[in-house]
């Protein structure tokens, strides 16, 4: 049997090479070349890119009407804060986070609230419809108008979107979706890039707001090619400690709003609830002043918050190790040098 041809693809920029390279020739990143099956010549043909080739007529900038975006609140005040006020028609949001952090829970709560005002569709590729229904019952959501599709084939998902014509759609997750026009496995660089591009074009063409759920690597970055973050309009990170009930949603990129806002949630038995006073999370309940502790006011977007800093000083030997949690090591070294 003839051996299947393989290509090495960069996970950051998508550059391909017939052999493994320690350094990507396209973006100069190290150890990002991953082996995968080579696409057959002409697979998909021109039809593969026809959906991405729609263009608008040339217009003069001064003649284009500049109007503000119409936003639809998601029902989650902290999520709306990070998004800039709500979802935008035709906008594509990519949200990533550790497994079990609460991404699906938050989106299920948001889509249930939006279903009372618009048509919605929840596409699940990681769970069955019964599992989604169990979570909905556990959260106390009615789900009477939430349409659910358990499918991982891109062509069937696009056909369903064309038939249902939803105003809001959730794809959970983009790493499980595959296109029949490509021979690589779901989750590969080529599949993630092409599926995200087709879904984004569908959102722009139909005006459907779309949320793509993404996986994260062990370093905490979004898995898949870096071009995935360039395709979408908004990139959100869902952060938090699995041993704590509090979660943070932070915007890394937002074409429709600011990126310096954060949303604070608390995980409860009935799902994620917004925290109205996040300062209470970062402050200890000390009755009297404690040495090595101070409180400062920081501005996160438009919301001031109180944060407590705690320092532990130990002069144990001539070559002490300087460690920090939540602070860059180089920044810590610079601050110590100044002090």
pLDDT in tens, 161-220: 999 999 999 999 899 999 988 888 888 888 898 899 999 999 999 999 999 999 887 777
Token output for 91: 């906008």
Provide the pLDDT for residue 314: 67
> Would the pLDDT of 1 be above 70?
no
Sheet bearing 92-97, strands edge to edge = 146-150, 120-124, 168-172, 209-214, 92-97, 234-240, 246-254, 262-268, 271-274
Token output for 114: 């939006």
Q: Mean pLDDT score of the chain, rounded to an integer?
A: 85
Kindly state the average pLDDT of the residues 285-304: 82
Q: How confident is the model at residue 237 (pLDDT cuts 50, 70, 90)?
A: very high
Provide the pLDDT for residue 53: 45
Contact 162, 142 (CB under 8 A): no
Kindly state the average pLDDT of the residues 39-68: 65
pTM score: 0.79
Kindly state the average pLDDT of the residues 18-30: 87
Q: How confident is the model at residue 234 (pLDDT cuts 50, 70, 90)?
A: very high
Provide the pLDDT for residue 36: 74
> Would the pLDDT of 136 be above 60?
yes
Q: Is 183 left (phi over 0), alpha (psi -120 to 50) or beta?
A: alpha
Token output for 6: 């393989």
> Would the pLDDT of 49 be above 50?
no
Contact 193, 14 (CB under 8 A): yes
Token output for 218: 């062990």
Span of 36-45, 91-100, 145-154, 298-307 with lowest mean pLDDT: 36-45
Token output for 56: 């608008």
> Would the pLDDT of 13 be above 80?
no
Of 231, 248, 278, residue with least CA distance to 82: 248
């Amino acid at each position: 049997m003839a051996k299947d041809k393989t290509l090495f693809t960069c996970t950051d920029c998508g550059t391909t090479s017939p052999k493994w390279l320690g350094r990507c020739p396209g973006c100069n990143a190290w150890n990002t070349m991953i082996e995968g099956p080579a696409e057959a010549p002409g697979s998909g043909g021109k039809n593969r890119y026809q959906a991405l080739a729609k263009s608008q007529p040339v217009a003069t900038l001064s003649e284009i009407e500049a109007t503000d975006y119409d936003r639809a609140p998601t029902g989650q005040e902290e999520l709306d804060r990070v998004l800039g006020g709500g979802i935008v028609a035709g906008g594509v949001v990519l949200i990533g986070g550790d497994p079990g952090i609460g991404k699906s829970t938050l989106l299920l709560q948001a889509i249930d609230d939006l279903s009372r005002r618009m048509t919605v569709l929840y596409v699940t590729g990681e769970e069955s419809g019964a599992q989604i229904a169990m979570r909905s019952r556990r959260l106390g959501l009615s789900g009477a108008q939430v349409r659910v599709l358990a499918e991982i084939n891109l062509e069937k998902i696009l056909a369903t979107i064309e038939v249902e014509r939803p105003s809001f759609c959730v794809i959970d997750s983009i790493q499980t979706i595959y296109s029949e026009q490509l021979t690589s496995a779901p989750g590969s660089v080529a599949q993630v890039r092409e599926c995200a591009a087709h879904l984004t074009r569908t959102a722009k063409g139909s005006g459907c707001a779309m949320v793509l759920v993404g996986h994260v690597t062990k370093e905490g970055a979004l898995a898949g090619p870096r071009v995935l973050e360039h395709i979408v309009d908004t990139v959100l990170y869902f952060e938090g400690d699995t041993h704590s009930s509090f979660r943070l949603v932070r915007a890394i990129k937002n074409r429709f709003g600011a990126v310096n806002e954060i949303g604070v949630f608390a995980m409860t038995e009935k799902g994620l609830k917004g925290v109205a006073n996040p300062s209470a999370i970062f402050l200890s309940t000390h009755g009297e002043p404690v040495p090595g502790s101070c409180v400062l006011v920081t501005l996160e977007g438009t919301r001031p918050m109180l944060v407590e800093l705690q320092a532990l000083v130990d002069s144990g030997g001539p070559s002490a190790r300087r460690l920090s949690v939540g602070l860059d090591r180089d920044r810590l070294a610079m601050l110590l040098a100044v002090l």
